[in-house]
Amino acid sequence: MKEYPMYIGGKAVSTDHTFEVINPATSEPFARCSAGTAEHVDLAVQAAQEAFISWGKKSDDERRAGCMALADALEANMKELMELVTMESGKPFEGLNGVGSGMEVGGSIGWTRATASFELPVELIQDNDEARIEVHRKPLGVVGSITPWNWPLLIAIWHVIPAIRAGNTVVIKPSSFTPVATTRMVELANQVLPAGVLNIVTGEGGVGSALTKHPGVSKIVFTGSTPTGRRIMEASAANLKRLTLELGGNDAGIVLPDVNVKEIASKLFGVSFHNNGQTCAALKRLYVHEDIHDELAQEIAQIAKETIVGNGLNEGTQLGPVQNADQLKVVEDLAASVEAQGGTIVAGGNKIAGNGYFFEPTIVTGLTNGSRLVDEEPFGPILPIIKFSTIEEAVRLANDSENGLGGSVWSNDIDKASKIAMQLECGTSWVNEHGAIQPDAPFGGVKQSGFGVEFGTQGLKEFTHIQTLKVMK
């Protein structure tokens, strides 16, 4: 079984104490990682601080070249990284609608190159006989990154690349469920970037806590649950760390009665179930007009029954396992609550027998807001389809959530759908799509789904502070 060290100050750091990484398709360990401590966080922050002295002064061209070199290294090792992502996260190589580890690694490469190309030019406020006023964007210092288990490599790239492109240095702490692909990425980064620019400390909860509290860290970027985000806010208050928090989502989609049911069913299933529903911005509550509710639910249920679930290493697999045993239990509990709360399971509903954390793609009807499955984010392969009568009712139900990450409206009337989409209380609204993101469009949540944005120049600016220069003439 291969062991993966940490990387601090450009050097591999192994520990006597390690932890196992489980393949969720087999429920058996396939790798071991070094178990870091608060002392390792101290060493990593110190290394990042030392590297920042020179990295923060590099030119845009030099920092861009470093990011591009990392993209080249990821591409050269794409097959290996895909295998690691599949073994630790469970997602298939290709997956449902092409959403699998190939997309994750390919997206990581593309995102790196796109982000490297962004510019933060000096903004000229005034230039006259009296004075010249310029606004400059400067790096913050050391950025702490804490990443989740659902898209381990891609989300690491979302955190790391804008940080180093803006001139910061980074200490990353990946989820202990999925640290392997990220560790390999950091190893590759240390072959093309100066020592200390990107460091990794692997371990369990104590490592993340030490990072969020550390006085040498200027910013924390975190993707994960809302309760953990609140704890990070509290821990970061001591030295007023900057924060970008992308937290829980329980995204709603509204389907109007003018759609072609047979054409739209597979699209709706895909945006709800890719990566087994384990995506923050997956569609998790589907509100369908009463005129087409039964027909659409039947179509989606049939797709669920025909979907191929299995080990992501096997060709043809569309959905893999739930990533870990705890999350599988969440999905099982929600499925068990359906009947007692007046709902009907029309497809799936059961754990799949055998090794691994497999659960049938599950479609539920007969529920509405106030039931557990609708109000709680399942983060797994289970979707409630909810009937509505009027647009006003649909918007009210969609907005009746403490979360506000994404939302969508589905209709052949684009203008009407766009107006409804703008009424949704969320950071991103889609029309006839859901969850589609890209590196040049800002993405973030409102309400309890967090604050700050990622992607685009707006996301890059989150890793800088403003310095205004006024020169009297």
**pLDDT per position as a tens digit, 17-47:** 999 999 999 999 999 999 999 999 999 999 9
Distance CA 153, CA 180 (A): 9
pLDDT in tens, 170-187: 999 999 999 999 999 999
Q: Tell me the backbone φ, ψ of residue 92, rounded to 5 degrees.
A: -65, 165
- pLDDT value for 363: 98
Contacts of residue 337, defined as CB under 8 A and 6 or more positions apart, other chains included, come to: 371, 372, 373
pLDDT (average), residues 385-400: 98
Sign, CA torsion 48/114/74/3 = positive
Distance CA 356, CA 354 (A): 7
Segment (H or E) for 125: strand 123-127
- pLDDT value for 205: 75
Q: Tell me the backbone φ, ψ of residue 335, rounded to 5 degrees.
A: -65, -40
The percentage of residues in the chain with a pLDDT greater than 90, rounded to a whole number, is: 100
The CATH 3.40.605.10 portion of the chain extends over 2-247+449-472
Helix (H, G, I), strand (E, B) or coil at 377: coil
CB atoms within 10 A of CB 402: 11
- pLDDT value for 204: 85
CATH of 251-438 among 3.40.50.300, 3.30.930.10, 3.40.309.10, 1.10.150.120: 3.40.309.10
Q: What HEC string does 418-453 produce? A: HHHHCCCCCCEEEECCCCCCCCCCCECCEECCEECC
pLDDT in tens, 193-211: 999 999 999 998 799 999 9
Please enumerate, as own/partner, the contacts of 366-373 that have beta carbons within 8 Å and a separation of 24 or more: 366/342, 367/338, 367/341, 367/342, 367/343, 368/397, 369/397, 369/400, 371/337, 371/338, 371/341, 371/342, 371/343, 372/334, 372/337, 372/341, 373/334, 373/335, 373/337, 373/338, 373/341, 373/343
Tokens of 223: 């993707």
Strand-pair category, 464-472 with 131-139: antiparallel
CATH architecture label of 2-247+449-472:
3-Layer(aba) Sandwich (3.40)
Nearest CA to 335 among 317, 351, 316, 311? 351
Which whole-number Å values give the CA distances from 397 to 368, 388, 423, in the listed order? 8, 9, 12
Distance CA 169, CA 160 (A): 9
8 Å CB contact between 104 and 153: yes
Contacts of residue 86, defined as CB under 8 A and 6 or more positions apart, other chains included, come to: 92, 93, 100, 101, 312, 313, 320
Sign, CA torsion 70/17/83/228 = negative
Tell me the one-letter amino acid at 41: V
pLDDT (average), residues 154-181: 98
8 Å CB contact between 383 and 272: yes
Sign, CA torsion 253/258/261/263 = negative
Catalytic residues: 246, 280
- pLDDT value for 406: 98
Tokens of 260: 């072609």
pLDDT in tens, 322-374: 999 999 999 999 999 999 999 999 999 999 999 999 999 999 999 999 999 99
Q: To the nearest whole number, what is the mean pLDDT of the chain?
A: 97
The CATH 3.40.309.10 portion of the chain extends over 251-438
Tokens of 85: 């992502």
pLDDT in tens, 251-284: 999 999 999 999 999 999 999 999 999 999 999 9
